Amino acid sequence: MVFIRDFVPSALAFLLNGEGEIVKNFLLHTLQLQSWEKTVDCHSPGQGLMPASFKVRSVPLDGRPGEFEDVLDPDFGESAIGRVAPVDSGLWWIILLRAYGKITGDYTLQERVDVQTGIRLILKLCLADGFDMFPTLLVTDGSCMIDRRMGIHGHPLEIQALFYSALRCSREMVIVNDTTKNLVAAVNNRLSALCFHIREYYWVDMKKINEIYRYKTEEYSTDAINKFNIYPEQIPSWLVDWFPESGGYFIGNLQPAHMDFRFFTLGNLWAIVSSLGSPKQNDGILNLIEEKWDDLVTNMPLKICYPALDNEEWRIITGSDPKNTPWSYHNGGSWPTLLWQFTLACIKMKRPELARKAIALAEKRLSTDKWPEYYDTRYGRFIGKQSRLYQTWTIAGFLTSKKLLENPEMASNLFWEEDYQLLENCVCGLGGKYGRKKCSRAALRSHHVV
C-alpha cells in the first residue's frame, strides 16, 4: 500500500538524484485516481478528493492466458481506520507537483489540461463556501498525518500550513484565463486572510501567554481582545514551567473556547518552509526547538507532538487507543521521517548546524535499528512497539536530509520566501512590523471569496 504523504520524501530523494521520471509517473497515476467513484454508505464526498493510499493489483488480461496488467486500487477513506477521508493528500500532491517543476525545470507537466483540471478540482473542494467563519480549513479528526483520534479536529495547524503551501503552489502553477481568474482571486484572498489569522491567533510566546493569562471572557463586540473566548484556566500547568523566555511556536489548534497548546512539529516546520510564519516567528520556532532539544529531539529526531496525552486525557481524547499510549506512535512518538522537513527549515533560516546535529543523532541508530517507522518513550530510546522496519519514508527522509545539506542551493526550490504583497493585500491589514490592526468589516465584505 502506498500513501501519498508517505511517498513525498521518496519523491524528493528521486528528484534530488536526477530521477524525475519516476515522480512524474507517480503524479500522473495518482491524478487518474482523482476521478474514481468513491462512496461510503451511499454518500459520495466532493469532487477533487485525492486518495489517501492505493494498492497495485495484478489483473489477468482477457483472452491472454498468463498475462497480467497492473491496476491501481485507490482508497479514499472507505477502507481507512474510522472511515476518514484524507484532507492532506491533495495538498501534498500539489506541493510535490510544484517541486517536480522547480527541480527538473520541466513545467510542461503542470501545464497539461488534465493536471490543470486536477489542481482546480482540489482548490474548489478546499475553498468551498460553508458555515465556517474562519479562513482556516475545517477538517475532521484523523484526516492528516496523525490519522487516528488525537483531538486535532477543527482547524489543526498541520492542515493549515499544508493548505497555505498548496495555495502558494497553485498560485504559481494555475494558468490564468477567463475560466480561472475568479479562482485565482479566491486563492489570493484566502492566502492573505489565512496568513493574518495564523500569525495573529495561533502564535504563542511569553508575551502572548501573559496576555492570555489576563484575558477577560464573554466579550461581545467587534473590538473584543479575547475574540475566541479563551479561558485563562486553559493554560496547562506543563506549559507554565516548560515555556522558554525566548522563542515561541504556533499552537496545535484554535477553536471557540479552545486552544490546544501542544507543539506539533510538522505544522511548525511547514510554517517555516512556506513562510506562513513571519521571519521573526520562524526564527523563534527554531529557537524553541534548540532550547528544548532534550524534549523535542532527544535520542531520535523528532517528536511528532509534545507533550503526550496521558491518564484521563488520553482515555477521553483517544478513546483509550492502545496504539497511541503516552509517548508512542502519534501520541508523542519520535518520527525520523520528519528529518527532511527539519533540515529544509534549518537551511531556509540559515541554521544548518541544527540539522547536522539532528542527522548525526539519527545516523547512529537508524541503520542498526533497521530503519523503523517510529520510536517510543519520552526520550525516543525504544523502537516503536508496533513500528514497521525498513520503512521507505524513514530511509528517504534521512537520504533527502543528507542531499539537501550537500546541495543547499537545491533547497531554495522547495521553500518560499516572505511575500510582502500578500501582507499588503490582507483584508485584515498587518500594520508595521506585523503589529495588530482591527479588521474592517467593509473591507471584508468587498473581499469575499468567489
> Does residue 98 register a pLDDT over 50?
yes
Q: Please check the confidence at residue 138 and state whether its pLDDT lies above 50.
A: yes
Confidence of residue 50 (pLDDT cuts 50, 70, 90): confident
Q: How many residues are there in the chain?
A: 450
Pairing of strands 249-255, 203-204: antiparallel
Per-residue pLDDT, 6 = 87
The predicted structure's pLDDT at residue 81: 66
Average pLDDT estimate for 368-395 = 96
Residue entry with cell 479562482: 183
388-424 residue pLDDT tens: 999 999 999 999 999 999 999 999 999 999 998 887 7
Which residues have a Cβ under 8 Å from the Cβ of 123 and sit 6 or more positions away? Answer: 48, 167, 170, 174, 183, 186, 187
Cis peptide bond upstream of 307, omega within 30: yes
In whole numbers, what is the pLDDT of the chain averaged over residues?
Answer: 89
What mean pLDDT is predicted for residues 189-203? Answer: 95
43 pLDDT more than 90: no
Q: What pLDDT is stored for residue 149 in this prediction? A: 85
Q: φ, ψ for residue 235 (rounded to 5)? A: -65, 115
Q: What is the pLDDT of residue 72?
A: 75
Distance of CA 346 to the CA centre of its chain: 17
Q: Quick one: pLDDT at residue 422?
A: 80
Q: Residue 220: pLDDT band by 50, 70, 90 thresholds?
A: confident
Whether the pLDDT of residue 333 is over 80: the answer is yes
Return d(Cα 252, Cα 250) in angstroms, integer.
7
Predicted TM-score (pTM) of this structure: 0.90
Q: Are strands 375-376 and 382-383 parallel, antiparallel or unpaired?
A: antiparallel
C-alpha 45/C-alpha 37 separation (Å) is 9
Higher pLDDT, 131 or 201: 201
User: What local confidence, expressed as pLDDT, does residue 36 receive?
Assistant: 60
| Reported confidence tier of residue 435, pLDDT bands at 50, 70, 90 | very low
Q: What is the mean pLDDT of residues 297-324?
A: 95
Over residues 207-211, mean pLDDT: 95
Q: Is the pLDDT confidence value at 236 over 60?
A: yes
pLDDT given at position 428: 54
- Nearest Cα to Cα of residue 286 among 355, 240, 336: 355
CA dihedral 201, 421, 276, 143 (to 10 degrees): 90
Residue-range domain boundaries for the chain: 292-418
Range scoring the smallest mean pLDDT among 73-82, 335-344, 347-356: 73-82
Around Cβ 40, how many Cβ atoms within 10 Å?
A: 14
- C-alpha gyration radius of the chain: 22
pLDDT surpasses 90 at 303 = yes
Q: What DSSP string runs through 258-311?
A: EEEEEEEHHHHHHHHHHT-S-HHHHHHHHHHHHHTHHHHTTTSS-BSEES---H
Say which residues have a Cβ less than 8 Å from residue 237's Cβ, sequence separation at least 6. none
Q: What are phi and psi of 210, to 5 degrees?
A: -65, -35
